[in-house]
Amino acid sequence: MSAKLQTFFAVVVSFVFYCSWSWFANHTALNDQFLLLRGALIQGSYSAFMTLTFSSFLSFVIEKMKCHKHPFLAIIPPLMIQSAIVYGINYLNHTPNIMLTITPSIFFTALYGVVFAFTLLKKPQYQCDE
């Protein structure tokens, strides 16, 4: 499977999963259905967008680190950025259960990043030429 197709599927799954998770994580804390839906759509949309940008940034970092002794460490910069942004967005949105809402996003992004990194590192363009 190509990196672009893999990223596309990851973006779709990310939107559906995190939209649903945000709804679940906050449905008992909010009586306002509009705010609940808005929070879920924000989390789902953010997650889809971040999956796309995370994958692109990770591809870029892996390409730059392909001759590094531990190229899989390339997931750290994109993951740190993703974590800070997802927290900030939910903080600004006044999400009541921020950590419950974002913890799966950070965990699964890290897991996805490791799998995606190892997938890329098997491709010739991401292998060290030296």
Indicate the SS3 state at residue 59. Answer: helix
Q: Residue 109's Cα: distance from chain center in Å? A: 4
Global confidence as pTM: 0.72
Q: Specify the DSSP class assigned to residue 27.
A: T
Tokens representing 45 are 């949309």
Percent of the chain residues past pLDDT 70, beyond the cut: 98
**Domain membership of residue 17 as a residue range:** 3-126
State mean pLDDT over 101-117.
88
Q: Across residues 86-105, what is the average pLDDT?
A: 86
In the chain, the largest separation of any two C-alpha atoms, in whole Å, equals: 60
The phi, psi pair for 32, rounded to 5°, reads -85, 110
Name the residue among 75, 92, 16 with its Cα closest to residue 24: 16
Distance CA 7, CA 14 (A): 10
Work out how many domains the chain is built from and give that number: 1
Q: Which pLDDT band, with edges at 50, 70 and 90, does 104 fall under?
A: confident
On the question of pLDDT at 12 being above 90, the answer is yes
